[in-house]
Structure formats: C-alpha cells, structure tokens
C-alpha cells in the first residue's frame, strides 16, 4: 500500500514484548523517516490490549508536529494508522496527559523521551511542558532522565534541558516537566569499554514527608557504599507535590559509560529497603563491564540510529523490550544494527552507517 510515494509500513503490535515501547518507536520512526505506518494488534496477548493514555498523549503531539492524518486514536483501539504529511516542526506549549476512566495518565518522561530525537531533527528550538507521572514504579523517572539519559545523549550531540515544575508520584498524579530541545546534528558514540570511573551519585527526592525519612535513606546508602568500597555523593531534594512520595536514584559515570538504579517508595517499604534496592541495582551493573544499563540502552538507541556516524555500545542485559525496539527500527530503515548476545544476557550493539 502507498501514500503518495511512500510505502505503508505495517507493524505487528504483538511482536516481541508487544508493549508501549513498540508503539512509541513505530510512531517516532514514522515521523523521522516520513513513512506512513499502521500498527495492528496493539498489545495483543497482554493484560491491557489496545492504545493507552500514554500512547494517545504521544500520538497527538507527533500528529501536531508532522501534520499527520490519523485513524483509530482512541483508548483501547487495537489498530492505529499514522500518516505524516510534513517534516517534523518544533513544538512550543503545554500538553495535558490523556487519562482513562481510572484517571491513570501518561508518564511525562516517557513521552518526552520519545519526542527527543524527533524534536532534535526539527531544525528549530522547541520548548514543551508535559503533565503526568514524573516518578513511578518500573518507569522512567525525572531524576534518571535528567542525570543519566540526557548526559549520555549529549555525547551524541543531542541537547535537552529539563526542569521539574511539579513532581507527580504515580500514574494518577499531575506532575509537570518542561524540556527545551536544541536542533541537533547527531553523531555516534564509541562505548566499547567504560574507561575510568568519574563518580557515583545518589539523589533522594521526597514530597510531603518528614525530613527524617529522606535522611534514613541517605544514611543507609552511605553505609552500603562504604561496605562496597564505593565513594558516593548523596543529595536529598524536597519538593511540593499533590501527594506524598519518595524516590531514590543512584548512578555512576565513567569516561565512556553510564548506568543507574532506582526505587519507588510506598507505605509498605522501609526507608532502608528502598536505599538497598536502588544501590544494589546500580552496584550489580558496576560489577560488570558493560557501558550502559538495560534502561539506558532503550533510550539511546533511536537517537543513535538517526546519527550521521556509526556507534558501538555494550549493555548488561539484552531485554526483550530492547530487541523489540531494534526490530521496529529495521521495519523502517535498511540499517545495519548488529546485536551480539542472547536475550537476558550481556550484549554488544553496533549501528553501522554508510
């Protein structure tokens, strides 16, 4: 099928992990390559089939900046067509999260992370504010995005400048994050080995909690780091939010590598347990030799695919999500992405240009 001179790219939404990362990658690639796409069987086989609030929030923004014609953009839709009609434009303004009947909305950082490579290629400066979750369980958080994702992407020439306007803990929250994105000419990275450790940091973000809670987390992080022989710089950040919350982020920076660990607090989790979860996740990565953790690998792949030069990096664990993202990219571009390693094992990723 064709739209003008472009072939319609058909995507099986149940392929691989079959989750939101597949949908987001396909939509971003559609805009970046100017190829129309139709995603079918969205999240088929999962507990929550069809488009969710996060997908639709992103869809509406991408449609706006590319003049796209769309079909099937509604909650629960198991198929969507997306036909961009123009090169991506910059974006200025505020976006409210779409919400379902249970008031669950989008993760603001997931939306912004998906937009980054598109806005960077727009040729103009963008300034966007997105409402939604900024801290959540098993989700991209503001502190990780600001301190791990963006510094890594700067190595590839992509410059984004975030600001946390209001924290939001959980998918029902109404946090706000603003992001300025410079038009960027992307280049590859050569991260075959880490080089020298430059520093380890931890950030404990709290809202509407007694100061002693954050202090207990920081104290236990210090003990864990001392026992592991790691020197860590710890900060406690207090902010105002609609509800109480606490989130711990740890990360390490090397000459040619970054990785982190996170943990979301809840009423049933002790402060010391929270600290241990975040630190152990980081320290497990530090004990290996890989230059990225599994979550960072997901976030840098698409910008590196659009870079003008080749890239190499290693990842501590090849997740099904990452392999699904690779598969989606190859449906749009005849690019050489070589992944050495097996699922759930350590891997080496090479992206060849030209």
Q: How far apart are CA 285 and CA 267, in angstroms?
A: 28
Q: Tell me the domain boundaries of the chain.
A: 1-86, 90-185, 194-287
CA dihedral sign, ordered 23, 29, 31, 36:
negative
pLDDT digits (tens, 9 = 90+) for 228-244: 999 999 999 988 777 88
pLDDT at position 122 over 60: yes
Q: Do 333 and 28 contact (CB within 8 A), yes or no?
A: no
For 262, residues 6+ apart whose C-beta sits below 8 A from its C-beta are 141, 143, 144, 247, 248, 249, 250, 278, 281
Region 194-287: CATH code: 3.30.360.20
Give the rounded distance of the alpha carbon of 190 from its chain centre: 21
Tell me the average pLDDT across 132-141: 94
Region 90-185: CATH code: 3.65.10.20
pLDDT at position 2 over 60: no
pLDDT category at 7 given cuts 50, 70, 90 is confident
What percentage of the chain has pLDDT greater than the value 70?
Answer: 98
* CATH entry, 1-86, from 3.30.465.10, 3.40.50.1110, 3.30.110.150, 3.40.50.300: 3.30.110.150
Phi, psi dihedral angles at 161 (to 5 degrees) = -125, 105
Q: How far apart are CA 63 and CA 66, in angstroms?
A: 5
pLDDT digits (tens, 9 = 90+) for 280-310: 999 999 999 999 999 999 999 999 999 999 9
Instruction: Answer whether 1-86 and 90-185 agree in fold.
Output: no
Chain mean pLDDT for the chain: 95
Q: Do 23 and 49 contact (CB within 8 A), yes or no?
A: no
DSSP letters for 120-141: HTSSS-EEEEEEEBSB-TTS--
Nearest to 234 by CA among 260, 202, 279: 202
């Amino acid at each position: 099928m064709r739209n003008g001179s472009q072939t319609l790219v058909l995507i099986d939404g149940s392929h691989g992990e079959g989750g939101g990362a597949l949908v987001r990658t396909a939509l971003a690639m559609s805009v970046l390559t100017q190829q129309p796409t139709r995603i079918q069987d969205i999240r088929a086989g999962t507990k929550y089939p069809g488009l969710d609030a996060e997908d639709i929030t992103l869809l509406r923004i991408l449609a706006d900046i590319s003049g796209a014609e769309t079909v099937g953009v509604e909650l629960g839709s198991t198929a969507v067509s997306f036909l961009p009609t123009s090169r991506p434009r910059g974006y200025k303004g505020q976006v409210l999260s779409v919400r379902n009947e249970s008031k669950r909305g989008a993760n603001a950082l997931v939306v912004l992370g998906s937009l980054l490579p598109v806005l960077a290629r727009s040729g103009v400066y963008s300034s966007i504010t997105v409402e939604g979750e900024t801290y959540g369980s098993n989700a991209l958080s503001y502190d990780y995005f600001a301190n791990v994702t963006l510094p890594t992407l700067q190595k590839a020439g992509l410059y984004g400048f975030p600001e946390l306007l209001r924290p939001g803990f959980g998918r029902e929250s109404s946090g706000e994050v603003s992001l300025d994105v410079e038009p960027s000419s992307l280049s590859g990275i050569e991260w075959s080995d880490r080089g020298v450790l430059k520093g380890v940091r931890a950030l404990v973000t709290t809202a509407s909690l007694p100061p002693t809670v954050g202090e207990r987390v920081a104290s236990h992080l210090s003990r864990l780091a001392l026992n592991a022989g790691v020197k860590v710089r710890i900060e406690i950040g207090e902010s105002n939010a609609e509800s109480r919350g606490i989130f711990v982020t740890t990360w390490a920076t090397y000459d040619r590598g970054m990785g982190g660990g996170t943990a979301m607090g809840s009423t049933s989790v002790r402060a010391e347990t929270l600290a241990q979860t975040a630190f152990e996740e980081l320290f497990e990565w530090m004990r290996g030799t890989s230059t990225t953790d599994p979550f960072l690998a997901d976030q840098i792949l698409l910008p590196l695919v659009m870079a003008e030069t080749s890239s190499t990096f290693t990842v501590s664990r090849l997740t099904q999500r990452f392999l699904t993202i690779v598969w989606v990219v190859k449906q749009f571009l005849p690019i050489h992405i070589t992944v050495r390693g097996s699922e759930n094992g350590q891997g080496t990723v090479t992206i060849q240009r030209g």
